[in-house]
A and B are shown apart, each in its own frame.
Chain A
Amino acid sequence: MPDDLQPGVLDQITWDVAVVGGGNAALCAAITAREAGAHVVLLEASPRSFRGGNSRHTRNLRAMHDRPDGVLVEAYGEDEYWDDLLRVTGGQTDEHMARMTIRASAGAPAWMAARGVAFQPSLSGTLSLGRTNAFFLGGGKALVNAYFATAERLGVQILYDTEVTAVALNAGLVRELTLVSRGFPVTLRARAVVVASGGFQANTSWMRESWGEAADNFIIRGTPFAKGTVLRDLLAQDVAQVGDPTQCHAVAIDARAPKYDGGIVTRLDCVPFSIVVDCHGQRFYDEGEDVWPKRYAIWGRLVAQRPDQIAYAIIDAKADPLFMPSVFPAIRAGTIRELAEKLGLDPATLEATVAGFNAAVVPGSFDGARLDGCQTEGLEPPKTHWARTIDTPPFSGYPLRPGITFTYLGVKVSEQAQVLMNDGRPVANLWASGEIMAGNILGRGYLAGFGMTIGTVFGRIAGEQAARYARN
Chain B
Amino acid sequence: MHETDAAILTEANRVMEICNACRYCEGYCAVFPAMTLHRSFAEADLNHLANLCHNCKACYYACQYAPPHPFGVNVPQAFALLRDETYRRYAWPAPLARLFERNGTVVSLVTALVVTAVLLLTAGLTAPGTLVHAAVGARAFYRVIPWAVMAGVATLALGYAVLAMTIGAVRYWRQCGSAQVTTAAILRGVHDAFTLRNLGGGGQGCNDKDESFSTTRRLLHHAMAYGFLACFAATCTAAFAADILGWPAPYPWFSLPVILGTLGGLGLLVGTSGLFGLKLVTDPTPLARRLLGGDIALLVLLWLTAASGMLALGWRQTSAMPLLLAIHLGPQESPHFP
Contacts and interface: CB of A to CB of B under 8 A. Distances in A.
A261 B70 CA distance: 9
Interface residues of A, number: 33
B283 interface: no
18 contacts: A59-B24, A120-B27, A123-B26, A124-B23, A124-B33, A125-B36, A136-B24, A137-B202, A138-B27, A138-B202, A139-B22, A139-B25, A140-B64, A141-B24, A261-B64, A263-B22, A265-B65, A325-B40
Contacts of B62: 138-139, 141-142, 145
Given A125-B36, A149-B211, 7 more contacts: A121-B27, A123-B26, A137-B203, A140-B64, A141-B63, A142-B62, A264-B24
Given A123-B24, A325-B39, A138 B59 contact: yes
Most buried by A among B18, B39, B64, B69: B64
B305 interface: no
A49 B67 CA distance: 8
A73 to B, nearest CB: 16
A265 B21 contact: yes
B61 interface: yes
B21 A324 contact: yes
Most buried by B among A120, A258, A321: A120
Given A49-B68, A120-B26, A325 B20 contact: yes
B24 A145 contact: no
B336 to A, nearest CB: 35
Interface in B90-135: none
Contacts of B58: 138
B11 interface: no
Contacts of B26: 120, 123-124
Contacts of A59: 24
A326 B288 CA distance: 27
Interface string A261-275: 101110100000000
A321 B64 contact: no
A142 B22 contact: no
Interface of A: 49-50, 56-57, 59, 118, 120-121, 123-125, 135-142, 145, 149, 258, 261, 263-265, 267, 320-321, 324-327
Contacts of A325: 17, 20-21, 39-40
Closest 10 A/B residue pairs (Cβ)? A139-B24, A138-B62, A120-B27, A142-B62, A265-B21, A327-B21, A137-B27, A141-B64, A265-B22, A145-B211
A118 B33 CA distance: 18
Contacts of A135: 27
A101 B65 CA distance: 32
B175 interface: no
Contact of A138 (B25, B68, B70): B25
Most buried by A among B24, B58, B70, B202: B24
Contacts of B39: 320-321, 325
Nearest to A139: B24
B166 interface: no
Interface string B61-98: 11111001110000000000000000000000000000
Interface in B216-250: none
A389 to B, nearest CB: 23
Contacts of A261: 64, 69
A137 B32 CA distance: 12
Most buried by B among A50, A56, A149, A263: A263
A118 B62 CA distance: 12
A140 B22 CA distance: 12
Given A145-B211, A321-B39, A56 B23 contact: no
A50 B63 CA distance: 11
Contacts of B63: 141
A120 B202 contact: yes
Contact of A326 (B21, B23, B36, B203): B21
